[in-house]
Amino acid sequence: MARPAAAIILAAGQSKRMKSATSKVLHEIGGRSLLAHVLATCAALELERTVVVRSPEAGDVKDAAEAAGVPSAIQEKPLGTGHAVQAARKALGSFSGDVIVLYGDTPLVEPGTIERMLAARADGADVVVLGFIAANPGLYGRLIMDGNHLTCIVEAGDASAEERAIDFVNSGVMVAGAETLFGLLDSVSNKNASGEYYLTDVVSLANGKGLSCTAIECPEDEVLGVNSRAELAAAEAALQRRLRARALEAGVTMVAPETVFLSYDTALARDCWVGPNVVFAPGVKVGEGAEVRAFSHLEGATLAPGAQVGPFARLRPGAVVGKAARVGNFVEVKKAHIEDGAKVNHLSYIGDARVGANANVGAGVITCNYDGFDKHFTDIGEGAFVGSNTALIAPVVVEAGAYIGSGSVISKKVESDALALTRAEHKQIKGWAAKFRARKEKEKSKG
Ligand code: UD1
Ligand code: MG
């Protein structure tokens, strides 16, 4: 059953510092957009409702939210975070449970942290704010505490020198009952240094009404906000640290984890071995004990237990490598199944194909899968042997146990256990080279 809580994700700010034609929250870290990370957190919490607040121009944000089954509300003008939360009011309709305010540009908040905030609400706090100790408090709103009690949030631009020295600051994430939150927002004014309606003013207003406010602390890495490309890179780095730590914790060996790049959905089973400088783009699953050697790039690929790929392998979407199968150096595989025990060890392109169990594909073999208009399939049967530097002109079938001589161009079916070769005949002229050299040397000495 859904939890009696709703999320409002603020994403209507101007984000000028990204210098981008794409809305800020659609920039990606770990293989998916900032917004998709926040929506995934909401999905994990099984909330009753989620609403994204966007600017009228951000059709791309509307589409991305809708693709995830989430409606968006429009904030006509960016008049401040308080004003933005109000823009979502209508979309929440009669909802009366707890409201969680999240930022679309703050992608790394963990569901467990929000659960701690909801628990503090359930324990009686009316407003719960997520704070952190900032290495550089800079422009963050300062949390003014009295013991466990949060008395107010002072925005940096409005803070005194003494307040600016405080390093416990506001992440922007807030939880409050719907009625309390919207009731208090009605009284927020824009008489402050930036002329905006501050969501953070809700705290002092709540205290004025005798309501209780508190702050929950989390590590700074969890609430990194993205306002520029540099901060996008910093958020990526923080996410990578988290993903690597999780993989190691799950029993994966990484020789140099700091050089391995993972995606939000990379699934590495225990006892996988990952060499240095490997990139896992989205959609990769690696089975138990499989090996991914140095400098490989994988996307949308599945490795069965005990498979071995790389070094320098490129697995593209739809690549499936079977049990104890091998894909070696400078081999590109796309939408192809390398079945159990098969080997494609050197310098090949295998696209739109099946390489049957225990087949051996020699160095430099290419599936010619594209005729400029359509893609065609190559089917290599079990135990077949494809000699080096063979071009397989798809659609083509090589039946089980067939043998193809090196350097062949195969455009017809090769029958089971047959030998096929298209090699030009070997000619040899005895003594030709010696005569040739003698002639050339004579010409040179004359000349
Ligand atoms: C806000 C907080 C500050 C906190 C900081 C954390 C307020 C007044 N201040 O400041 O205490 O330390 O975040 O990063 O809340 N947005 C809208 N519409 C608007 C304005 C903002 O949707 O009119 C969205 C932005 O897209 C962004 C989020 O709200 O996702 C935060 O806005 P931003 O302008 O970055 O707030 P800060 O000034 O950084
Ligand atoms: Mg900000």
For ligand 1, whether the C-beta of 34 sits within 6 Å is no
- Give me ligand 2 centre to Cα 427, in Å: 75
The rounded distance, in Å, linking the Cα atoms of 194 and 207 is 23
pLDDT > 90? residue 241: yes
Give me the sign of the Cα torsion angle 179, 180, 182, 187.
positive
The rounded distance, in Å, linking the Cα atoms of 192 and 254 is 51
The rounded distance, in Å, linking the Cα atoms of 127 and 150 is 9
CB 46 within 8 A of CB 88: no
Averaged pLDDT, 108-119: 98
Range of the domain at 370: 238-420
| Same domain, yes or no: 134 and 265 | no
| Same domain, yes or no: 246 and 193 | no
Burial class (CB within 10 angstroms; exposed 0-12, middle 13-18, buried 19+) of 147: exposed
CB 118 within 8 A of CB 42: no
Strand bridging mode 28-29 / 3-11: unpaired
Decide if 440 is inside a domain. no
Note the pLDDT tens digit of each residue in 414-432. Answer: 999 999 999 889 999 999 9
Task: For residue 24, give the ligand 1 atom closest to its CA.
Answer: 26
| Same domain, yes or no: 387 and 263 | yes
Note the pLDDT tens digit of each residue in 193-222. Answer: 899 999 999 999 999 999 999 999 999 999
Give me the sign of the Cα torsion angle 305, 306, 310, 313.
negative
- Give me ligand 1 centre to Cα 329, in Å: 48
| Same domain, yes or no: 52 and 165 | yes
| Same domain, yes or no: 285 and 370 | yes
Decide if 50 is inside a domain. yes
- Give me ligand 2 centre to Cα 316, in Å: 37
**Taking phi first (over 0 means left), then psi (-120 to 50 degrees means alpha), and beta for anything else, what does residue 84 get?**
alpha
For ligand 1, whether the C-beta of 13 sits within 6 Å is yes
| Same domain, yes or no: 260 and 190 | no
| Same domain, yes or no: 33 and 87 | yes
Query: CA 123, 124, 127: angle at the middle one, nearest 5?
Result: 115
| Enclosing H/E stretch for 11 | strand 3-11
The rounded distance, in Å, linking the Cα atoms of 381 and 400 is 4
Averaged pLDDT, 371-386: 97
CB 315 within 8 A of CB 298: yes
**Would you give the end-to-end CA distance of the chain in angstroms?**
95
Task: For residue 153, give the ligand 1 atom closest to its CA.
Answer: 11
Task: For residue 155, give the ligand 1 atom closest to its CA.
Answer: 11
The runs of H, that is alpha helices, within 22-143 are 34-45, 59-67, 81-87, 89-92, 111-122
Residue of 103, 105, 166, 213 to test ligand 1 pocket, by largest number of atoms within 8 Å of CB: 103
| Same domain, yes or no: 246 and 180 | no
| Enclosing H/E stretch for 204 | helix 201-208
| Same domain, yes or no: 162 and 302 | no
Decide if 333 is inside a domain. yes
For ligand 1, whether the C-beta of 12 sits within 6 Å is yes
Return the number of other C-beta atoms located less than 10 Å from residue 151's C-beta.
15
Residue nearest to atom 20 of ligand 1 (CA): 80
Domains: count for the chain: 2
For ligand 1, whether the C-beta of 101 sits within 6 Å is no
For ligand 1, whether the C-beta of 100 sits within 6 Å is no
What pLDDT sits at residue 60? 96
- Give me ligand 1 centre to Cα 225, in Å: 10
346 is catalytic: yes
Q: Tokens 């704010």 belong to which residue?
A: 129
Give me the CATH number covering residue 364: 2.160.10.10
Note the pLDDT tens digit of each residue in 266-319. Answer: 999 999 999 999 999 999 999 999 999 999 999 999 999 999 999 999 999 999
Task: For residue 83, give the ligand 1 atom closest to its CA.
Answer: 23
Give me the CATH number covering residue 145: 3.90.550.10
